[in-house]
Structure 1
Amino acid sequence: MKIGAVMFFTTDSMQPAPLGRALEERGFESLWVPEHTHIPSSRKSAYPAGGGLIRPYYEIMDPFLALNTAAAVTSELKVGTGIALVIQRDPIVTAKMVSTLDQLSGGRFLFGVGNGWNQDEIENHGTVFKTRHKLARERIEAMKAIWTQEEPEYHGEFVNFDKMKQWPKPRQAPHPPIIVGGGFPHAARRAIRYGDGWIPRDDWLERDGMGIIDQFRAMAKEAGRDPATLPVSIFRVPDSLERLRLCEKIGIDRIVFSLPAEKEDKILPILDRWAELKRQLDG
């Protein structure tokens, strides 16, 4: 079972390059960065985790630039968006960013995607909140065409372009894995429809029960997908050896633990604690 970390990088936190090196030195598999272009002062949508938003939501750096910085100083660490808000991104520009980062990292990019919860933020990008799921699907389908075809074109309700040329193509074939974030059952269905994996959160599994993992795999089979091609990555996993062993037992492919937006003096002890858990798990 792979172990990675997710962090909101800010100007006051540990930076991507030293964190990337620290993770790789300790044998961790991946570094993930969330995305929020901005946080509107208004709030039509309640924060799903409850309570108010912490400052890193307002201060987070661009995920692609942060990940490229980490990739430049590492050789094996995978770098992933956890998650990128494709409903706020132009698909042609994003396709080039993904393929460029995948090339520069030597094929180490993981494209975690999601459709967002913050209605005000999404609408500031010109997206109608109620149509965001179809928009996301079309943008991902369009990006797949760009990555895999010599002269891609796409004609949908929200995304529409005639034949064009765009390089570089991604290093990974046919493209970096598209790992769909979100809760059960809706995001699970989206992962089965156009993804290469699913990202639920540990607190959601605590609420809904680990049985939804088996339900997800059954849904994949019913849809004609091999569950082995749809690995599950669980985010925000607590530092509990018992929890990690349970995840391993039920066949979770990857767990990702959260790091606070703090400096090295706070971050490195957390990494060391997780490195010890990893050692015990590998046992």
Structure 2
Amino acid sequence: MDFGIATSVTDEGIRPHVLGAALEEKGFDSLYLPEHSHIPVSRETPYPAGELPRGALRNLDPFIALTAAATVTSNLRLGTAVALMIQRDLFYTAKEIASLDLLSDGRVIFGVGAGWNIEEMRNHGVDPRTRGALLTEQLQALKEIWTEDEAEFHGKHIDFDPVYAWPKPVRKPHPPIYVAGQGPAGLKRLAEHADGWLPHFVTPPEELRRVRSWLADQGREDVRISVFGAPADPDLLRRLADAGVDEVSLILPTLPEAETLERLDELAKTIEPLRA
């Protein structure tokens, strides 16, 4: 089982290039960063995991931060968990991800979700009622843009005639797409359009096994399971490994550089016996 780090890189904490270099030096496999364009001050939507973390208010753009990490690393996988694709322009996002994949020699993982903050997505002109259908078409269209010299797509929410769009990603056929979500619509999107699943660490091991079996029934034994945001609890990590999880990203609080490096040393010691 691989081990990564999930954290918010902000203006108040360690810089992404320092973090990326430290993660690779200490043997971590991946770095996952979240995305929020903004957080509305007046908000009715509750944060799903309790109190809204300060990092959600101040996180850097994930693709710029991951590019900084890419410049000082060679093997670290660079992921989003999750990017809010429904709030993004399709063509700029396709170019941004392909550019990062090119500059990192094919190390991008594009993790996406349909989003939880209704007020945030409404500020982007997104209808929350159709965000799942929009995301599905966006993922289909991204694949066309990344793999075709003259890409076109005609759907209900996304529609465009043939276009040129370069660069193309280094990773073939395209950077792996990981999706979050555990409801019927999210799992359908996973089976039909994704390369990996990003369940939260509170997902019971029996549910992880059930989804793995269900994916196999759909002919998708190749889907990776990457559990997101787990605490450094050895018992939990062993249960996840026993459930067949491919990767776990450990939650890292947003701290200044010195404190972050100390915390990474602690996390590295925790996972060392689990790598055997």
TM-score bracket, shorter-length normalisation: over 0.9
TM-score by length of structure 2 reads 0.96
SS in 1 for 2:79: strand
SS in 2 for 1:162: strand
> Within 2, Cα distance between the matches of 1:58 and 1:131?
25
For 1:235, the equivalent position in structure 2 comes to 228
**Contact 1:184–1:212, Cα closer than 8 Å, also in 2:** no
**Contact 1:115–1:133, Cα closer than 8 Å, also in 2:** yes
For 2:256, the equivalent position in structure 1 comes to 263
> How far off is 1:132 after superposition?
0.2
**Contact 2:30–2:78, Cα closer than 8 Å, also in 1:** yes
The one-letter code of the counterpart of 1:213 is L
The one-letter code of the counterpart of 2:194 is G
**Contact 2:205–2:239, Cα closer than 8 Å, also in 1:** no
Cα deviations by residue, 1:38-59 (Å, 9 ceiling, x for unpaired) = 00112131111123x2322111
**Matching residue within 214, 217, 220 for 2:212:** 217
For 1:276, the equivalent position in structure 2 comes to 269
Cα deviations by residue, 1:146-186 (Å, 9 ceiling, x for unpaired) = 01111110011111110011111100000000000123444
> Within 2, Cα distance between the matches of 1:240 and 1:48?
21
TM-score by length of structure 1 reads 0.94
How much is the aligned-residue C-alpha RMSD, in angstroms? 1.2
> How far off is 1:15 after superposition?
0.7
The one-letter code of the counterpart of 2:41 is S
SS in 2 for 1:236: strand
> How far off is 1:260 after superposition?
1.2
For 1:42, the equivalent position in structure 2 comes to 42
> How far off is 1:266 after superposition?
2.0
Cα deviations by residue, 1:11-65 (Å, 9 ceiling, x for unpaired) = 11001000001100011001111000000112131111123x2322111110000
Query: Identity across aligned pairs (percent)?
Result: 42
The one-letter code of the counterpart of 2:220 is D
**Contact 2:40–2:119, Cα closer than 8 Å, also in 1:** yes
For 1:177, the equivalent position in structure 2 comes to 176
Aligned structure 1 segments of 4 or more residues deviating by more than 4 angstroms: none
For 1:2, the equivalent position in structure 2 comes to 2
**Contact 1:234–1:252, Cα closer than 8 Å, also in 2:** yes
Tell me, which stretches of 5 or more residues in structure 1 are unaligned? none
Tell me, which stretches of 5 or more residues in structure 2 are unaligned? none
